Amino acid sequence: MKTIVWTVDDLPNLSTSYPHIAQAANILRENEVVAFPTETVYGLGANAFSDEAVRKIFEAKGRPSDNPLIVHIASQDQLDEFVEDIPEYAEELIKNFWPGPLTLVLQKKGDRLSDLVTAGLDTVGVRMPDHPIALALLKEANVPVAAPSANRSGKPSPTQASHVYYDLQGRISGIIDGGATGVGVESTVIDCTTKIPTILRPGGVTKEQMEAIVGEVSVDQALVEEGHAPKSPGMKYTHYAPNAPVIVVDGSHHFIQQQIDQFEKEGKKVGVITTEEAKNDFRATKVLSCGNRANLQTVAAQLYDVLRQFDQEDVDLIISESFPQAGVGAAIMNRLLKAAGNQVIVEK
Ligand code: TXA
Ligand code: MG
């Protein structure tokens, strides 16, 4: 299959009649799959009402079939077609954070959604992305669109069209290239079927932001302690992994450099993930900055690109600095620790 790449560079003039959008929407309606940018990461979309279409997502990604997909919508009216029992706090979250990087897990209604989307669960994750291309495409397609991140399963999520192309060229019908995504980590997934909303995956909307609107928000035990099965099936898989193993080192620059020196002495070529503030402090085979520690949003935006860049470098091991868990730091550390398979060295 030849993968078409449509480049959209005049975002301010975007409308549903833009030829690339119309063409991609047509392909979605024909039950083929298309990648598109959202404000978080690129998604791989398919008509959520069609088994045939959704199956193609799992095939293209090599995704385990027990991992449900997020349904994307352009207008709140579409919710009526496939969810019920929206609690009051969920209405508040929708009012405040949609369109935006927040996925609500709600009670599924009826049988219009393909069972493959929900992986047999009686709940469904749904969000309205905050990106002009995504919204125009969803509106024009006029069906809810199931869309996981548009990477091969296990790889870092794509924040640029070139990442999607690298992973999925020849396996999907097309990619809409709208440049780099903004947030850089995926949406927050929040379970709204419980009395108190529960974060299943930290992401672009922070716990603190939601608590300011709805009061208490809890966090799935599996995110806090080891040994609990996650309520979000996708959270149990190894993810975001570059080819070289990753180790997170939590300590002073001096301590981090000692670890680098130790590995290099053993003959390993070490890559380092650091920040603008510290990039001149480290000596290693390759040092890459993923943003400013003083502004963690910049780190979220570039983390996956930096993980992917190391696949183009000749390194045997990647050592990453650690980040504080507050705000978007919770999502950054969740992804880094997954990339590292939980390998952490802490300075005593
Ligand atoms: O930002 C995002 O959310 C991106 C963009 C493309 O929208 N999408 C994304 O999808 O990250 P994906 O498939 O890579 O991750 C979806 C996560 C998985 O961890 C999955 O298990 C969880 O959401 N999920 C989906 N439906 C669920 C449900 N009904 N109950 C619990 N977890 C669910
Ligand atoms: Mg993903």
Residues 258 and 171 in one domain: no
Residues whose CB falls within 8 Å of the CB of residue 177, separated by 6 or more in sequence, listed in order: 5, 6, 7, 8, 37, 161
227 by Cβ neighbours in 10 Å (0-12 / 13-18 / 19+) ranks as exposed
CA of 67, closest atom in ligand 1: 21
- Would residue 234 count as lying in a domain? no
Residues 265 and 207 in one domain: no
- Would residue 238 count as lying in a domain? no
- Which one-letter amino acid corresponds to residue 17? S
How does DSSP assign 161-186, residue by residue?
Answer: HHHHHHHHTTTSSEEEE--S-SS-S-
Residue whose CA lies nearest to ligand 1 atom number 7: 43
- Would residue 230 count as lying in a domain? no
Q: Which of 152, 232, 334 to mutate to test the pocket of ligand 1 (most atoms within 8 A of CB)?
A: 232
Residues whose CB falls within 8 Å of the CB of residue 318, separated by 6 or more in sequence, listed in order: 242, 244, 245, 246, 247, 270, 271, 272, 273, 307, 310
- Give CA–CA dist 320/317, Å, rounded: 10
- The ligand whose atoms approach the alpha carbon of 40 most closely is 1
- At which of 193, 224, 255 does a domain end? 224
CATH number assigned to the domain comprising residue 37: 3.90.870.10
Residue 15 has pLDDT above 80, yes or no: no
CA atoms within 13 A on the CB side of 202: 25
232 lines ligand 1 (CB under 6 A): yes
| Average of per-residue pLDDT across 61-79 | 96
Residue 65 has pLDDT above 70, yes or no: yes
Residues 219 and 251 in one domain: no
- Would residue 63 count as lying in a domain? yes
Residues 310 and 189 in one domain: no
CA of 125, closest atom in ligand 1: 26
CA of 40, closest atom in ligand 1: 1
Distance 125 CA to ligand 1 centre (A): 7
How does DSSP assign 239-283, residue by residue?
Answer: -S--SS-EEEEES-HHHHHHHHHHHHHTT--EEEEE-TTTTTT--
Residues 200 and 267 in one domain: no
- Would residue 233 count as lying in a domain? no
Residues 269 and 203 in one domain: no
Q: How many domains does the chain have?
A: 2
- Would residue 154 count as lying in a domain? yes
Distance 243 CA to ligand 1 centre (A): 23
- At which of 191, 224, 257 does a domain end? 224
- At which of 224, 255, 278 does a domain end? 224
Q: Please tell me the predicted confidence (pLDDT) of residue 116.
A: 98
297 lines ligand 1 (CB under 6 A): no
43 lines ligand 1 (CB under 6 A): yes
Residue whose CA lies nearest to ligand 1 atom number 31: 232
| Average of per-residue pLDDT across 188-215 | 98
Residue whose CA lies nearest to ligand 1 atom number 17: 234
Reported as a pLDDT band with limits 50, 70 and 90, residue 40 is: very high
Of 41, 245, 60, nearest in space to 157 by CA = 41
Parent domain of 220: 4-224
- Would residue 120 count as lying in a domain? yes
Residues 168 and 287 in one domain: no
pLDDT tens digits, one per residue of 144-190: 999 999 999 999 999 999 999 999 999 999 999 999 999 999 999 99
Residues 206 and 264 in one domain: no
Residues 255 and 217 in one domain: no
Distance 174 CA to ligand 1 centre (A): 21
Q: What is the dihedral of CA 163, 164, 170, 173, to 10 degrees?
A: -150
Residues 210 and 256 in one domain: no
* pTM reported for the whole predicted model: 0.96
Of 163, 323, 42, nearest in space to 340 by CA = 323
Phi, psi of 232 (to 5 degrees): -100, 110
Residue 11 has pLDDT above 90, yes or no: no
Residue 240 has pLDDT above 90, yes or no: no
Q: Please tell me the predicted confidence (pLDDT) of residue 161.
A: 98
CATH number assigned to the domain comprising residue 263: 3.40.50.11030
186 lines ligand 1 (CB under 6 A): yes
Q: Please tell me the predicted confidence (pLDDT) of residue 310.
A: 97
What angle (nearest 5°) sits at the alpha carbon of residue 339, between those of residues 286 and 308? 50
Reported as a pLDDT band with limits 50, 70 and 90, residue 303 is: very high
- Would residue 232 count as lying in a domain? no
Residues 35 and 127 in one domain: yes
CA of 127, closest atom in ligand 1: 7
Q: Which of 103, 128, 155, 335 to mutate to test the pocket of ligand 1 (most atoms within 8 A of CB)?
A: 103
Residues 172 and 297 in one domain: no
300's tokens: 């979220």
* Cβ atoms of residues 275 and 291 within 8 Å: yes
pLDDT tens digits, one per residue of 319-336: 999 999 999 999 999 999
